[in-house]
Amino acid sequence: MEDRPEAHATEDAAALSPAAASPVTPIEAGELPPEELERLSGDIIAALKTVFDPEIPADIYELGLIYRIDVDEDRNVAIDMTLTAPGCPVAGEMPGWVQNAVSAIPGVGQVDVKMVFDPPWTTDRMSDEARVALNWY
């Protein structure tokens, strides 16, 4: 199975570009205690798994649409995400769905969701779970 993005703390939430951060791995540096970062990481990923692409019956996390997740010392969350295609009919709505899902997590500060298209999404970013669910293996 491919590496999946995980939330990680950085000095600056915008420090990594999507290309440089994919796949994202946890960084234990920063002001958050490791156990708090681990809890937030799990909660953020669980929240992202509640958001589904309406045209593909799989969640956006397993589809590989999340390119970067950063959590700063104030528990503000920055997320870079993409779409399966730039002309996706929910392009204007999906970042709000992601923001609402992650904002509902207790202890999370502000949530900033940025839509990016570099690198372009491909089916190679899908997890094995998504491939099985969609019979794309």
Residue with tokens 């019979």: 135
- Whether the per-residue pLDDT at 19 is higher than 60: the answer is no
- Mean of the pLDDT values across residues 67-78? 92
Q: Which amino acid does the sequence have at 44?
A: I
Q: 86 or 79: whose pLDDT is higher?
A: 79
What's residue 106's pLDDT? 94
pTM (two decimals): 0.77
Task: Please give the backbone phi and psi of residue 71, each rounded to the nearest 5 degrees, phi first.
Answer: -120, 125
**What would the pLDDT profile of 94-131 be if each residue is shown by its tens digit?**
999 999 999 999 999 999 999 999 999 999 999 999 99
pLDDT (0 to 100) of residue 33 = 85
- The residue extents of the domains of the chain are 8-134
90 Cβ neighbours under 8 A, 6+ residues apart:
53, 54, 83
Please tell me the distance from the alpha carbon of residue 22 to that of residue 113, in angstroms, as a whole number: 16
Domain 8-134: which CATH number of 3.40.50.720, 3.30.300.130, 3.40.50.1000, 2.30.38.10: 3.30.300.130
CA distance 48 to 6: 11
| Tokens standing for residue 93 | 């709505």
